[in-house]
Every structure is written in structure tokens, then in C-alpha cells.
């Protein structure tokens, strides 16, 4: 989605390479879009417009205007499958820079933890936690919430202009990036409450960051810099968790073994099992691998 253009502020792609322009529901300043698999619905939010700062689509092509909870500068929206809830944050408003919706259509205004310019929000399923970051504030440019309604202010690692935050399930880590700061435009947190400053690859104006589980990789992009407007970080030593379930050829024995093991690696082993009669014998297993 885009904040400029005439009837063409949406584009879609099946492969990330070839893009098609789509008609937006209104020519307002669209800033953020997210997808709900459970509702089969895209939701976008905008920083401008009169009563129409939300639009929804079931397919990314046909968009419908929705009434926002308030005409604030909505800058970011995300979806929580576990709570069946959309949460959006704004950079304007008085004491209520958050809105929530269970369906993308009906929105309720919520109190923010502070009247900072909140510009990015993400959800951690593992922690059951929303985290938002801001470009203004004094030592309080992070807030978190377990439900999208009740928000708690958190101490940011630095008073940089934090522009984007994302969650890595594999690393159990939040990463935020900033458009300001000297050599410190990244901060990380394992819990959304305690943040540590990190060295950025360059002092560019970093605008967005995301995580790839398949590549074990963070990627951030910037709107300033000379030939270096992308930075990545590879999580060396990342070990995804797998559950190995052994199914035995005996009605008298059932056994489950859980083991963390690197991806793209085969595990071979032989187990001597003891059945309920106290008999010890090797058992043939069929191993099924499930990512968790």
C-alpha cells in the first residue's frame, strides 16, 4: 500500500517479482497492511482521510472502505491469531493512540501507554505479547500489551527514532530499527521489556525490518544511504526446534522423545526400550518430524 497515487495505492504480486497495480478504496495516506489467515482478510490503515482510514480486502484486489475508530495518523497494523484481534497504532491522538478490531470492520479506540508517535506494532505468539515502538518520547519509546487493550510503557535502549519492530520465533527475539542514532540504530529484546542496543551496519534511515524463518535471517531496508540501503543479520548458531515422535510396532509400548536439532540434518539412532512387562529389546521406529 502507498501514501500517494490516484486510485492506484495498492499493488499485488504472486511471486514478489511481478507486480500489478490495484484500485485502493480511497486516495488517503495508506501506511501499513497485514493479513489474517483465519479471516482470509487484508487490513490496511492510513494516516489521512475522514472516517475512512481503514480498508479491507479478501483478495488484495477488491478493497472496501471501513470507518476507523478515530481520525488519527494510523501508522501500523498487525494481526494476532491467538486473540483473533487486529491492533493498530497511531502517531497522533490524546491518550488513545491504539485501536483494535476482531474483524477488521468494527474498531474500538484504546488508551496508549503514552502519547508518543507510535509507528510500528508486532505480535509475538510465543510470548502472547504485542510490542509497539515510537519515534518520540523520553526513555519510553516502547510499549507492550498482552491483549491490545492494556498497555505498559517500557524503557527503550536509546531515544532513537524507532521506526519498525518485528519478532523472531526461532530466536525468541524482538528486533527494532531506527532512522536516527550514531552506530546504534538497532535494539533487541527477548521479552519486549528489556532492550539492548546493537550496532547497526550503517547510520542509514532504517524504515522496516522483517524476519525469515526459512533463512534464519533479519532484513532491514532504509530510505537513505549510497548503495547500502539493505542490511541483514544471520543468526549464527540458530537451532530450530523439532519434535521427533517415535511410533513403535507394539501395543504395549508408547514412547515420545523430544530433541532440538539443526535443520537439514538427519538423525540416526537406535533405542533399547523397556515395555510394561519389563522386557528390554530394540524396537523399530517410524520417525515423523514436526516443527514446533
| Residuewise pLDDT in 10s, the chain (292 residues) | 999 999 899 999 999 999 999 999 999 999 999 999 999 999 999 999 999 999 999 999 999 999 999 999 999 999 999 999 999 999 999 999 999 999 999 999 999 999 999 999 999 999 999 999 999 999 999 999 999 999 999 999 999 999 999 999 999 999 999 999 999 999 999 999 999 999 999 999 999 999 999 999 999 999 999 999 999 986 533 444 433 334 444 444 444 444 333 333 333 334 444 454 555 554 444 433 333 3
Q: Which three cell numbers stand for residue 185?
A: 540504530
What's the confidence (pLDDT) of residue 256?
43
For residue 145, report the phi and psi dihedrals to the nearest 5 degrees: -155, 140
Of 155, 154, 202, which is closest to residue 178 (Cα–Cα)? 202
C-alpha distance across the termini of the chain, in Å: 32
Q: Which three cell numbers stand for residue 22?
A: 490495484
Query: Which domains, and CATH codes, for the chain?
Result: 10-234 (2.130.10.10), 241-291 (no CATH)
What pTM was estimated for this model as a whole?
A: 0.80
What's the confidence (pLDDT) of residue 278?
53
Alpha carbon distance 230, 240 (integer Å): 25
Alpha carbon distance 133, 144 (integer Å): 9
What's the confidence (pLDDT) of residue 233?
86
Burial 134-167 (b: 16+ CB within 10 A, else e): bbbbeebbbbbbeebeebebbebbbbbbbbbbbb
Alpha carbon distance 173, 135 (integer Å): 21
What's the confidence (pLDDT) of residue 208?
97
What's the confidence (pLDDT) of residue 41?
99
Using the structure block, give the residue that is written with the C-alpha cell 518520547. Answer: 137
Using the structure block, give the residue that is written with the C-alpha cell 539443526. Answer: 262
Amino acid at each position: 500500500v502507498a501514501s500517494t497515487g490516484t486510485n492506484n495505492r495498492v499493488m499485488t504480486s504472486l511471486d514478489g517479482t511481478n507486480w500489478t497495480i490495484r484500485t485502493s478504496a480511497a486516495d488517503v495516506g495508506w501506511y501499513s497492511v497485514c493479513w489474517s489467515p483465519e479471516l482470509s482478510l487484508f487490513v490496511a490503515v492510513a494516516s489521512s482521510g475522514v472516517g475512512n482510514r481503514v480498508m479491507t480486502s479478501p483478495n488484495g484486489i477488491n478493497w472496501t472502505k471501513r470507518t476507523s475508530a478515530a481520525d488519527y495518523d494510523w501508522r501500523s497494523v498487525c494481526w494476532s491469531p491467538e486473540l483473533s484481534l487486529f491492533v493498530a497504532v497511531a502517531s497522533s491522538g490524546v491518550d488513545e493512540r491504539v485501536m483494535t478490531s476482531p474483524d477488521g470492520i468494527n474498531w474500538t479506540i484504546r488508551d496508549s501507554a503514552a502519547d508518543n508517535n507510535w509507528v510500528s506494532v508486532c505480535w509475538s505468539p510465543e510470548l502472547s505479547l504485542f510490542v509497539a515502538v515510537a519515534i518520540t518520547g523520553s526513555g519510553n519509546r516502547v510499549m507492550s500489551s498482552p491483549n491490545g487493550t492494556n498497555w505498559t510503557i517500557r524503557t527503550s535502549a536509546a531515544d532513537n527514532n524507532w521506526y519498525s519492530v518485528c519478532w523472531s520465533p526461532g530466536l525468541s527475539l524482538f528486533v527494532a530499527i531506527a532512522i536516527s542514532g550514531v552506530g546504534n540504530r538497532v535494539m533487541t529484546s527477548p521479552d519486549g521489556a528489556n532492550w539492548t542496543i546493537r550496532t547497526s551496519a550503517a547510520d542509514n534511515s532504517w524504515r522496516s525490518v522483517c524476519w525469515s524463518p526459512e533463512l534464519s535471517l533479519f532484513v532491514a531496508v532504509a530510505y537513505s544511504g549510497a548503495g547500502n540501503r539493505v542490511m541483514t543479520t544471520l543468526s549464527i548458531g540458530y537451532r530450530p526446534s523439532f519434535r521427533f515422535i517415535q511410533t513403535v510396532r507394539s501395543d504395549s509400548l508408547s514412547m515420545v522423545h523430544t530433541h532440538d536439532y539443526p535443520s537439514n540434518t538427519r538423525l540416526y539412532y537406535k533405542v533399547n526400550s523397556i515395555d510394561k512387562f519389563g522386557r528390554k529389546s530394540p524396537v523399530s521406529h517410524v520417525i515423523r518430524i514436526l516443527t514446533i
